[in-house]
Amino acid sequence: MKTLQRRSRAGNIARAVALAVGLACGLSVVATSASADGGYQRISGEGSSWAANAIDAVRVNVRQFGITMDYNPSGSTSGRKNFLNGTVDFAASDIPFQFAPEDGSAPENPAPGSYAYIPVVAGGTSFMYNLKINGKRVTNLRLSGENVAKIFTRVITKWDDPAIAADNPGLTLPPRDIVPVVRSDGSGSSAQFTKWMIAMHKAIWDDYCQRSGRAPACGYTSFYPTVKGVVAQSGDLGIAGYVSQSFAEGAIGYVNYSYALGVQFPVAKVLNKAGFYTEPTPQNVAVSLLKAKINKDASNPAVYLTQQLEGVYTDADPRSYQLSSYSYFILPTKVAGQFNEAKGRTLGAVAYYMMCQAQQQSASLGYSPMPVNLVRASLEQIAKIPGVEVQSVDISKCNNPTFSSDGANLLAKKAPQPKVCDKKGSLQCPNGTGGLKNVPTAVKSGASGGGSPSGGTSSGGDTTVDGATGPGGITDTGADPATGDTVPSGVDGQGDGGTPEGGSAVDGSAGAVPVGDVVTTTLKRESAGLGIGLLVGLMILAMIFVPGFAWRRLGRRGAQ
């Protein structure tokens, strides 16, 4: 009896082993066939979380060509460092290599001529916030640059501060604490943000630098210094995740615009030099970056194509957004370490895709497509990757919304002018921003006598239209196929430039694009979530009860 039982148990074990081996073999067969597809090698990249949504979209899209690309959005500093260490094949960074960091951190010394920059995506660093008045979410907050600087340096610590009230005559903000949320990891967004603060509000920054114990190294920094009351989170996703939690009322953090769209939260409109409060829509970013000074010295790869943004900060165009910037790929131009020509071929294919096909979906993600001159320059840079299959890309076929026959940036040209109610001093627009474009916020009527008449009929008209469509669109998203239908037409409209006449009309349709997109994806996610939830529940039950029953079974058999 005993031997028989032992034999049957041994048989079971043998069967289980066979099954496991078979599974492993099957998996490895699948894996090898996938990697063999198209002859592409798996490549890995690391860096900017600011640009990660755009890069991740590319990662998903190049899978159709059999390219497996890993991207780890662990922050620009980490990306550059691991590129230097040779542990990743390419890096994504919002700022170039830091040869002489101003914040006292160790200098980075890449070997000269071993790398090249290509700008891959443009976007705005937005200030996403979580604020409610009487339990209703505020979606139309406006902030001057000075107030932004003061909020992130703990000079202004309450939402009902008179300085913020001056920006928002239409809102009665609560006496709630402001909780600034900053990056805890080394981040290009922190670097760009502090650079902007130093250029525009140096005294505020210097004072903060002293208070945070960072002095005397008070230059711009990838490591945002913290004082009491400042919350630090890792990555754009960490900040967006923290600010969007229900407990985080009063929090405000700096993230790329795409993250605010992703979690469906509003962003603050920031005052520009022309006296208008703007948000970093793809169009506004395109306008702003016309003023970015791009280094044209192709003979010096250490600076070629890098950006000087001082012109953007002081741009007098009413549509400009001050914190617009480009983010870069750092590509290897020499074979070294684990990077070889086979990987170079794959990386080249990804880079070509990034510069051409990927640009047409940038706007729907919340980024701004690259202008034609930078795409051309980048395509030349890609040819320097060792092992690359040089493609002669017909730029006009990329469907990039910025391209026009005369070389001007079409997206910037067609960018709508801001509404009258966005002007400094006027009663603010009720329209929502960022990921809650369709949710207006009620504005105090008649708070400032001059405001609403100066807004005139156009402002009043906008209010009613938005009020009618906005909430309706949100409440019956579930069954309404109309929302789903508007998405592709909106995308088309944007690609072609949309309706040529009427600034506000273009604004409306373009604004609807990302929102519609987000709504449909969350719907899909929800229905999928139910199935997955059931599956997970079943698995957990199985894990809990199967061992118990199996034990009893075995025990009974042993007793026989």
Using CB under 8 A, list all residues that contact another protein. Answer: 74-75, 77-78, 81-82, 84, 104-106, 108, 174-177, 179, 184-186, 213-214, 217, 222, 226, 228-229, 231-234, 241-242, 245-251, 543-545, 547-548, 551-552
Residue 521 parent element (H or E): helix 503-559
Residue 156 CB, nearest distance to another protein (Å)?
Answer: 15
Residue 324 CB, nearest distance to another protein (Å)?
Answer: 25
Strand order in the sheet with 90-93: 69-72, 43-47, 90-93, 324-332, 115-129, 251-256, 179-183, 231-233
Distance CA 250, CA 179 (A): 6
Closer CB to another protein, 112 or 548, in the complex: 548
What phi and psi values does residue 250 have, to the nearest 5 degrees?
Answer: 100, -5
Contacts of 12 (CB under 8 A, 6+ apart): none
Closer CB to another protein, 40 or 159, in the complex: 159
Residue 485 CB, nearest distance to another protein (Å)?
Answer: 33
Contact 144, 167 (CB under 8 A): yes
Does 216 sit behind a cis peptide bond, omega within 30 degrees of 0 on the bond before it?
yes
Tokens of 360: 């047409």
Closer CB to another protein, 84 or 412, in the complex: 84
Ranges of beta strands (E only) in 469-555 are none
Closer CB to another protein, 133 or 199, in the complex: 133
Angle between helix 372-382 and helix 341-355 axes, rounded to 10 deg: 170
* DSSP secondary structure code for residue 177 in this structure: B
The pairing of strands 293-294 and 69-72 is unpaired
Residue 55 CB, nearest distance to another protein (Å)?
Answer: 17
Closer CB to another protein, 232 or 515, in the complex: 232
CA-to-CA separations, 282 to 50, 258, 316, 360, 465, in angstroms, rounded: 15, 10, 18, 11, 23
Distance CA 7, CA 14 (A): 10
| Cross-strand partners of 267 | 128
Q: What is the phi-psi region of residue 399: left when phi exceeds 0, alpha when psi lies from -120 to 50, beta otherwise? A: left
Closer CB to another protein, 139 or 184, in the complex: 184
Residue 1 CB, nearest distance to another protein (Å)?
Answer: 23
Residue 31 CB, nearest distance to another protein (Å)?
Answer: 22
Residue 536 CB, nearest distance to another protein (Å)?
Answer: 12
Residue 183 CB, nearest distance to another protein (Å)?
Answer: 11
Q: Which residue has 């002489």 as its token pair?
A: 100
Residue 520 CB, nearest distance to another protein (Å)?
Answer: 23
Closer CB to another protein, 162 or 213, in the complex: 213
Closer CB to another protein, 1 or 106, in the complex: 106
Residue 101 CB, nearest distance to another protein (Å)?
Answer: 8
Contacts of 316 (CB under 8 A, 6+ apart): 273, 274
Closer CB to another protein, 213 or 446, in the complex: 213
Angle, CA 442 vertex, CA 441 and CA 445 arms, to 5°: 145
Closer CB to another protein, 246 or 464, in the complex: 246
